[in-house]
Amino acid sequence: MKSTRPALIALFGAALIGLSSLGAASAADNDGEVTMFKDPNCGCCGKWAEHMRANGFRVKEISTHEMDMVKREAGVPRALGSCHTAKVGGYVVEGHVPAADVKRMLADKPAITGLSAPGMPQGSPGMEGPYPADRYDVVSFDAKGNTGVFASH
């Protein structure tokens, strides 16, 4: 029986390298490139990625069953969690944040860790459907635990 241990070690190493890309911003970060981590069974995450692509972003989707670890490594406060976690321009984008808010963050370059659309608000990008849209806030957060309303929808 052939051992799968080397393959598992290689896969784990690749996942760790991918997670390290969620760290601090670097000069090499490109504002138009989004790396999105998502659960392999989630459909709405792919819809958010399509929304971002339609708004000029290039999106790389990485499926993982380790979303809790991804969020922890990215510095996403538990209360601001959603279904997927992305990195763009050295910032973290948690959940169904509209592309317009991401573009504003990238243009203004605020001293924050990132933005979150906490939960999964109905009517947010990727969560469109037959139900009436929820009113929701996009929240900024930083490494010290400070939060604020970045935009209201």
- Domain assignments of the chain as residue spans, ordered by start: 27-152
Residue 150 to residue 77: CA distance in whole angstroms:
16
CA dihedral 22→85→87→123, nearest 10 degrees, is -170
What integer pLDDT is reported at residue 11 of this predicted model? Answer: 39
Which distant-in-sequence residues (6+ apart) come within 8 Å of 102 by Cβ? Answer: 52, 57, 88, 93, 115
pLDDT in tens, 38-83: 999 888 889 999 999 999 999 999 999 999 999 999 999 999 999 9
- Strand ranges (E), the chain: 33-38, 58-63, 85-88, 91-95, 114-117, 137-141, 147-152
* Residue 87 pLDDT > 60: yes
Q: Class of the 27-152 domain?
A: alpha beta
Share of residues in the chain with pLDDT > 90 (%): 73
Render pLDDT for 106-132 as a digit per residue (tens, 0 to 9): 999 999 999 999 999 999 999 998 889
Give pTM, 2 decimals.
0.80
According to DSSP, residue 32 is labeled T
Pick the closest to residue 96 from 115, 109, 113, 77 (CA basis): 115
Average of per-residue pLDDT values in the chain: 85
* DSSP-based three-state secondary structure for 115: strand
Interval 92-96 mean pLDDT? 97
Q: What angle do CA 134, 136, 139 make, to 5 degrees?
A: 160
**Percent of the chain whose predicted confidence (pLDDT) is above 70:** 80
Report whether pLDDT(16) > 70.
no
